[in-house]
Chains A and B, each alone.
Chain A
């Protein structure tokens, strides 16, 4: 059997982080596994593939998605940890593949009577044919002195041929990451599709209900957190006893820029908004916009190449869109209107910026070239805010639009010129953020009471609640 060996250096890093909680500065001491590569490839770039890997593609009947089953991940030792890891990997992989909706996942009840395999090589394919499976996944989990080794195969049921297969090794601390990796690589190898299983959602939350430092008024802090795309594995980024909102992932997912209320005086009084870049795995911080009470900065948005940040700079209370280099140099003003200009987002190739302006009354979405020329109005809403430009294959901008008492998420397509409302008017739905493949959005909704983060497919189906604790808002999806 031909297998590619991939090291998950990043996995070891994630695992060690979850042990230490709020991302201390020494987290990078977690070493990659011996004899393996140094780094996960940059987001969006697949690891080097063996050309011989792409041979068999699992197809469904004409007009139908392929049907996939998971025969099981087999623990090769009978200790509780290995058994639990194997179970988790199988369950999470099922959910991960189902999330992209490219495959019809055959339910557990349907396959209950099919005998479980005991190795990668004894899957009863004839039984899988009976439930009309086009492909079946089988895997093993083996404990080693340093962690676990996970192997898996995707088998074409009709031919019995292996369509895809790999071996991974790393820490046992977060078995979900193996499933996420398998799902993403399977979608890429089989369909050329970039999945979102390894992406993260950052957001603001008051879930820890700490008190703001030094203020006279009784106020909760708001800190930045992130979770896996499915809500699992929450991690806290900031520990500031102030409020922090609007996180934005750098394209390499190593840093989060956000808006923080920093203190200008003794005792915490006299705060001002400024942009902080937290290098989350190093524990270091930068304040490139260098704000003060007279020059406040908020709502940062990374350029697609990660070299620049567009943001709102308010000097003397007049908000304008500016762009700076990541280190704060090269500051450039793009708008010059005395009314509000705020909430920028970049086009996928970085040549244009969409933003929100109140220059004609209530806020609406505008677009301009990245040098500030060619400004034009895009929407005609009663109130439109938080544009987010899809970086996926669809050229569209999502935003929050007032549709009554609250807001709904709408998507404007540059291809058709049409605007589609994708939420249902329940509660208020705000702050949309596209997944990197453009197929999903995260947003804040009050539909269940407090503000919670949800994800939804871009066609308005498959609504999922991601957060459940405290008030949450300003979601942002890692690239």
Chain B
């Protein structure tokens, strides 16, 4: 029983992972989880194509699911973080309020954390260069904390989410215009253990 259930989850995870890699829309959280007691045969994805020449006297056996197909669960932390499934949360100038767009990103991220219940993440708070270095250490921390607070409100256990500020030490875009600054005011998600 147990291996089968694992297989189902893994297959779902593949589907979610593929969704997360897609464009802007966050469909990741949408697919319904398989109801308890469900079997692999019930999931359309796992139904094997009908064999062209069925051999009599044998029953159809589902193929072994390829567990290793999920790059997120298989990769090491480096790989996961380089192709991060998490969406960053962006902030307005001098602000650490999570806006509607940010909440959508966090809904997505909460979904990922529910799918990978062993993952522990650190939210890095970053600032653009238009604040001073010292105060930005605190502002970045407030941004990371604001993202964490929202995640916790969605049911993510607080002990799975750590926060740290990098102030303006690591801009994502080294440019000196609003295009760069708007990218640099962000909460960035890093998986720290799995």
Contact = CB atoms under 8 A, between A and B. Distances in A.
Interface string A326-353: 0000000000000010110000000000
A266 interface: yes
Interface stretch (B14-22, B60-68, B135-143): B135-143
A317 B133 contact: no
A299 interface: yes
A265 B193 contact: yes
Interface residues of A, number: 48
Interface string A82-100: 0000000000000000000
B162 A385 contact: no
B144 interface: yes
Interface string A376-410: 00000001011000000000000010000111000
B132 A386 contact: yes
A407 B135 CA distance: 13
Interface in B131-159: 131-135, 137-139, 141-142, 144-145, 148
Interface in A430-477: 430-431, 444, 473-474
A425 to B, nearest CB: 15
Interface in B162-177: 162-166, 169-170
A390 to B, nearest CB: 18
B133 A430 contact: yes
Contact of A431 (B81, B82, B132): B132
A415 interface: no
B138 A312 contact: yes
Interface stretch (A41-49, A136-144, A188-196, A270-278): A270-278
B78 interface: yes
Interface in A289-318: 293-294, 296, 298-299, 312, 314, 316-317
**Chain A residues touching B, majority SS:** strand
A264 interface: yes
B25 interface: no
A317 B145 contact: yes
Contacts of A473: 133
Interface residues of B, number: 35
A385 B134 contact: yes
A269 B190 contact: yes
A431 B144 CA distance: 24
B163 A317 contact: yes
Contact of A299 (B82, B130, B137): B137
A383 B169 CA distance: 19
B131 A383 contact: yes
Interface in B73-114: 77-78, 80-82, 84, 94
B122 interface: yes
The residue among B130, B133, B144, B163 with the most chain A CB atoms within 10 A of its own CB is: B133
22 contacts: A216-B77, A217-B170, A245-B169, A259-B137, A261-B164, A264-B192, A269-B191, A270-B192, A272-B164, A273-B165, A293-B163, A317-B141, A343-B135, A358-B138, A363-B132, A383-B131, A383-B135, A385-B135, A400-B132, A407-B132, A431-B132, A431-B134
Interface of B: 77-78, 80-82, 84, 94, 120, 122, 129-135, 137-139, 141-142, 144-145, 148, 162-166, 169-170, 190-193
Identify the 6 closest CB pairs spanning chains A and B, nearest first: A317-B145, A216-B81, A270-B192, A385-B132, A269-B192, A340-B138
